[in-house]
Homo-oligomer: A and B are copies of this chain.
């Protein structure tokens, strides 16, 4: 694994932008590994992701902000720097359905996800043995209608204690409070078991079955204050037929959910996602 830096930029589109960024990086002898950019003509926006090898880079990371600030101000940039050496810390929330959890833990172990998993939080004890197999601390926090504020307070305490950067809801069957969502803006990834915006809310497979659709889907998205309405990160579908019962939909959907959620997590971990206008750009 190379030691790299990744810069994400979003700003109004103007001439000279790429030249300014490229000259800056060249000045400090950056060896660019990947660069991808997007101009949104309708919104007049410029979005960019550039990743470079830090081996020959002559600017210290501590001094990066001060050195880059003049360019950022000149072009009105929102920007973010991520270092491969700083692996983000991901908390996984799960309830009883464990297929997404199993999938994420295996992918993490096999090196697909360049993040750390300091803890798993569940409202049930069912997946404890699995967490232990992978050596991840496991915390049960019971959630009821009446104790949501209290249970979320416990969750916040754990998230801060473990310095968690982002949270993945791996089929976690509780709706987060507005406070929770505001606390982790664009830092909570959910998997919804439908092709959003179709079948928002509860029991999407049952409703897909009743409507008689010919494909079922899954959608990973950032959680916002409106249920199932956040920016979509990834979606996929699979074909079904009249031979499939609701149970078959649920089973086939599991394979979709796993794949769609894991792609979203991977792109988040690798700083490949830029959010704007309630949508996402994926630099893959």
**What is A's interface to B at a CB cutoff of 8 Å?**
15-16, 18-19, 22-23, 25-26, 29-42, 99, 102, 106, 110, 112, 133, 195-199, 210-215, 217, 231-232, 234-237, 241-243, 245, 251, 255, 259, 277-282, 284
Which among B112, B243, B280 is the interface contact of A251 at CB below 8 angstroms? B112
Set of chain B residues within 8 Å of A241, measured between Cβ atoms:
282
Query: Known contacts A18-B22, A211-B197, A231-B212: does B106 contact A242 (CB below 8 Å)?
Result: no
Set of chain B residues within 8 Å of A195, measured between Cβ atoms:
195, 198, 215, 217, 237
Set of chain B residues within 8 Å of A198, measured between Cβ atoms:
195-198
Set of chain B residues within 8 Å of A236, measured between Cβ atoms:
215
Set of chain B residues within 8 Å of A37, measured between Cβ atoms:
35-36
Enumerate 20 A-B pairs (CB-CB under 8 Å) in ascending A order: A15-B30, A15-B31, A16-B26, A18-B32, A19-B23, A22-B23, A23-B23, A35-B37, A38-B242, A40-B242, A41-B245, A99-B106, A99-B110, A133-B133, A196-B211, A196-B213, A197-B199, A212-B278, A213-B232, A255-B259
Set of chain B residues within 8 Å of A280, measured between Cβ atoms:
212, 242
Q: Closest chain B residue to A103 by CB distance?
A: B106
